[in-house]
Amino acid sequence: MNPKRHTCYEYGKDYKELVYLKRHVKLTRHTQAPSVESAKSPKTPGTTRWVATAVGIATPKLV
């Protein structure tokens, strides 16, 4: 088994988890998710998230 295929040394995380996070960012534009765990967890009401606008500038928005 090739360890370079299954582990991303840059982030120290599993490569599959990194792919999940990158796909999540691409689909939802939540670029401020610090980890895969926060991307997978449901959003709590009343939290501020950075939302990308149509212009491409991230602005804080109360969710």
Using pLDDT thresholds of 50, 70 and 90, give the confidence band for residue 53: low
pLDDT of residue 11 exceeding 60: no
Q: Is 14 helix (H, G, I), strand (E, B) or coil?
A: strand
Question: pTM for the complete prediction?
Answer: 0.30
How open is the CA angle 47-53-55, to the nearest 5 degrees?
155
Q: Are 60 and 32 in contact (CB under 8 A)?
A: no
**How high is the mean pLDDT of the chain?**
60
Burial 32-53 (b: 16+ CB within 10 A, else e): ebeebeebeeeeeeeeebebee
